[in-house]
Amino acid sequence: MEQRRYERRTVRGYLVGCVVAVLLWSVASAQIRYSISEEINEGTVVGNIAKDLGLDKSTLKERKYRIVSSNADPPFHVNQNDGILYVSRKIDREEACAQSSTCLINLKTVLENPLEVHYVGVEVLDINDHSPSFPEEEKRLEISESVLPGARFQLKPSRDPDSGHFSVQQYKLSQNDHFRLEVRDKGEDGKIPILVLQKSLDREVAGTHSLVLTALDGGKPPKSGEMNILVKVLDVNDNTPVFSKDVYSVTLSENTPIGTTVIQVNATDLDEGQNGEVYYSFGNSVSNKLFKLFDVNPSTGEIIVKGPIDYEQKDKYEIEIEASDKGFAPLTTEKSVIIQVADVNDNAPEIEATSFSSSIPEDSRPGTTVALININDLDSGLNGKVFCSIDEDVPFTLSPSLQDKMYSLVTKSPLDREKQSQYDLTITAKDAGQPPLSSEKTISVVVSDVNDNSPEFSLSPYTFYVTEGNEPGTSVFSVKAFDRDENDNALISYHILRDGSEENKLASFLNINTESGDILALKSFDFETLKTFQFQVVATDSGTPSLSNNVTVNVFILDQNDNAPVILYPVSSNGSAEGVEEIPRNVNAGHLVTKVRAYDADIGYNGWLLFSLQEVTDHSLFGLDRYTGQIRTLRSFTETDEAEHKLVILVKDNGNVSLSATATVIVKVVEPKEAFAASDVKSATKVDEEDNVTFYLMITLGSVSVLFLISIIVLIAMQCSKTTDYTSKYLQETNYDGTLCHSIQYRSGDKRYMLVGPRMSIGSTIVPGSHANTLVLPDRRRGSGESLLQPKVPSADWRYSASLRAGGVMQSSVHMEESSVMQGAQGVLVQNWPTASSAADAEGGEVSPPMGAGVDSNSWHFRYGPGGPGAPPQHLKPGEVPPEAFIIPGSPAIISIRQNQGGEDDKSDFITFGKKEEAKKKKKKKKEKKDKKDKGKDDGDE
């Protein structure tokens, strides 16, 4: 309660104080009001406050009359002396009163002692001292060009510090086509300008619009203020990019390096910012293949080579380039860029062989088509113009066809597979570009075989030597033919021509292997009955039609030592080789007791007989000549010698495996008178025996003559019917004394052959020259023009048999010129022996037969020089011809003749070999040693 009372008392105290204050204020607030214009000068009198308030001027100073103001620079001051109110400084109404319609400045004046407060109001009257002004000198507006007409844009109003009628009264807008001005009056807030769009904006036409807004006050004259309005038309993406050219076309060389700029496209967009920023790309219609070849720079629009450009793949490219802006809703434009690819000579011609025949028959005619050649060059123009050629050294040529770049490979000359079976043809194609390119293609053409070659034998004619006694059914020789064709055309079969003629009758004893050409003999040949024959072999190929050829085969039978010596004398009445010879006791040494005669049907060394004493009672009494078979006394008989002596003579030939026969001679020593009587009887008997032998020899000679004539006729017929130079001639010596001579000559091709055999004579033995009894003779017809007057230098072609070596056996042929004639004295045996000479020379050089060949060595005649059997012999006495005269041309062989003064022949070899006299001396010493050795044996046997 007490608290409430207290609070009431306090409230009452406040109320009383307030009432007292109001009363005091009302007394002191008596107010005087003055009016002054703004901007008056300093010191201008406003009014006399003391007078107006009725104050005592004299007390004003004492009472400290003053204006109380918080302003440090008060606009007014009062003079204490007279109480007049003065202007202290210029007063700007707009500054003092801002936008108040009435500018009243209240001044508080105070007097002390007593305190008095007086209020003086000074109204500052406005003058038009300010122009309207806008808040900003330039107003920037951003208006989208898409804004529709009628759009309103409120502007900030202009402010004029003046008030009332001197404030902004109106606005004016500069002349333009797009905007107009509206003013809204908001009373105390003044007039507000509004910018109204009356025509659509187009940024691409005018990006900015500059306007001037003018504000006018109500002064006389009015003052104004301006504001520049810059309207920026905001871009709207309403323009698509536009390319600078209607057509983009460029020529690009093929094989342009990667990274090369082909062309640059350019597109512009009237929009701005991202709406006008253009980027480039390929259109949607561009194939993936173009993406591999070209690229486009999105910023610059440069089209760049990305991959290899090949004119041959495509010569023109049309690329859609798309230009787009970067607006929110981007707009796009497409333009075609045509790239024409220029050809570069970068392709060599290509050669293609069509309808190619890998083989062509060799009998094809010139002009036969082998292949069609197609030349292709992917380049164009001159770069694609091709010239084609082929090697000139082949029998083929290129013939252009009606179709461009087509050629026919044809033959231009005959073909021969046997000369060349395959051709590797190089075809060259060259274009006309710069630089030109070329290519080559090799075509192998095989020339197929046609059966146009007959079989050919390796030799024509064939000459074979067959040893007699061959085994029937075995191959004796072989022929071989070849055919230069191939396959079946070269498959050769053989057969023997059997025409049934007399000349070919021996072909029935032969058989031939049809495949190998080996010839088999169905019978064994005998040299003694058949010495030579010929037949023909036909070689036929397997072609269609087949071709054949024949060859003449000459066969010579070679002698074998298949005949043992036959004793011709002595022969007893019962046919055994035994005989009895009686000689007087008073004969001297060297008396001819008898002569053993033998015959061997073989020839050469096989028929060369040697005589030796196999058994004798007294070796010191009788001697046997190993060559002649003559038995002579070695000394005179003594009284102590036995009256009967038995001599067994061994006759042996010189074959590889020698055959022999023996003869027994009983020598009876009688007194001289008995010997003469017996000699008469014996001579009569001997005449009868010799008559019989002569009869048989005449029959033999007649048979040989008939065979000779038949052979001559046959050979003449063959010579006329065939081109082969083949002759056969049997040479016989008409003067014979019981010894039969075999001397057969043959001609085959350009060579002559001689078969030489011994004569057969009673009481004599001949030693033939060789087992290999064929002697090759030079053709006389070819050397007829050569000089025969002087001996020529030994020729290198000289050949002599190996059997001419000391102690050897003749196994091969010796060139022979002719048979030399060796003629004895009257009644002495005549013998033919081969003459050795050079194959190239025509000179002859006669040689003598060996010692003991059935000829008396005391009366030999020799002939040296060219000539034949019909030429007259040159008679030379023994010892007249020096050894050097008998020289085998081209060899170291020296033929010498040695005879004793008494006319008896030397026991040494007749022919010696060596170089000059040194060789002769060595041979002679060797022979003397051998004779001493044989003599010692004979003494031992006695």
Q: For residue 19, give the 3-state DSSP assignment.
A: helix
Structure tokens at 226: 């301006």
pLDDT band at 406 (very low <50, low <70, confident <90, very high): confident
Among 24-33, 419-428, 530-539, 689-698, the least confident range:
24-33
Please determine, for residue 51, whether its predicted confidence score (pLDDT) is greater than 50.
Answer: yes
Round to whole Å and give the CA distance between 26 and 119.
Answer: 11
Please determine, for residue 241, whether its predicted confidence score (pLDDT) is greater than 70.
Answer: yes
**Per-residue pLDDT at 906:** 43
CA contacts within 13 A on the Cβ side of 270:
12
What pairs with residue 142 in β-bridges?
232
**Per-residue pLDDT at 918:** 53
Closest among 815, 836, 829 to 911, alpha carbons compared: 836
Share in percent of the chain as helix, strand, coil (round to 5): 15, 35, 45
| Cα-based distances in Å from 788 to 71, 418, 635, 818, 845 | 182, 48, 51, 15, 12
Round to whole Å and give the CA distance between 328 and 343.
Answer: 45
**Per-residue pLDDT at 919:** 53
**Per-residue pLDDT at 210:** 92
pLDDT band at 21 (very low <50, low <70, confident <90, very high): very low
Pairing of strands 422-431, 462-467: unpaired
| pTM of full prediction above 0.85 | no
The CA-CA-CA angle for residues 365, 368, 372, to 5°, reads 165
Q: Name, in order, each residue with C-beta under 8 angstroms of 913's C-beta and a sequence gap of 6 or more.
A: 804, 805, 806, 892, 893, 894, 919, 923
Which amino acid type is present at position 820?
S
What pairs with residue 615 in β-bridges?
648
**Per-residue pLDDT at 539:** 94
Q: Are 650 and 611 in contact (CB under 8 A)?
A: yes
**Per-residue pLDDT at 238:** 86
- Report the chain's mean pLDDT, rounded to a whole number: 75
Please determine, for residue 179, whether its predicted confidence score (pLDDT) is greater than 70.
Answer: yes
